[in-house]
């Protein structure tokens, strides 16, 4: 706890992605403001990209060994991707139905 009675916030180190380096020693850095939140978000998205593209986790071990905020970020990003895929598929189906109805109205395709 800090003097103001607020809990200290630790974030994934954006330099080593949680592996531990000279900047952080243990993979996390103490946050001090809003800029740290944007750095943390960038680090989480970077870690997600490494997981998605290369199947590399930020910390050694499995998913249960990862920081809770990383797991939450993965769940959030996966949900967002899923919703975007669903929306794209819905739009694709509507476009195909529209094009089919236009062809039928024009008499194209009735061989």
Number of domains forming the structure of the chain? 1
Give the range of the structural domain holding residue 99, as residue numbers without chain letter: 10-106
Is residue 56 domain-resident?
yes
Do 17 and 58 form a contact (C-beta atoms < 8 A)?
yes
Q: What is the mean pLDDT of the chain?
A: 80
Helices (H), the chain: 34-54, 68-106
Is residue 60 domain-resident?
yes
Which whole number is the average pLDDT over 23-39?
64
Predicted TM-score (pTM) of the model is: 0.54
Is residue 3 domain-resident?
no
- Note the pLDDT tens digit of each residue in 40-82: 788 888 889 989 999 988 888 888 888 888 888 899 999 999 9
pLDDT the model gives residue 1:
42
Is residue 31 domain-resident?
yes
Handedness of CA 91, 97, 101, 106 (dihedral sign): positive
């Amino acid at each position: 706890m800090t003097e103001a009675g607020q809990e200290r916030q630790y974030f994934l180190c954006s330099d080593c992605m949680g592996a531990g380096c000279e900047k952080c020693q243990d993979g996390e850095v103490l946050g001090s403001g809003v800029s740290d939140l944007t750095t943390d978000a960038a680090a989480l998205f970077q870690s997600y990209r490494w997981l998605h593209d290369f199947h590399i986790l930020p910390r050694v071990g499995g998913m249960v060994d990862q920081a809770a905020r990383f797991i939450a970020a993965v769940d959030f990003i996966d949900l967002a991707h899923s919703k975007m895929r669903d929306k794209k598929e819905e739009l694709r189906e509507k476009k195909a139905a529209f094009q089919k109805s236009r062809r039928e109205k024009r008499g194209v395709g009735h061989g």
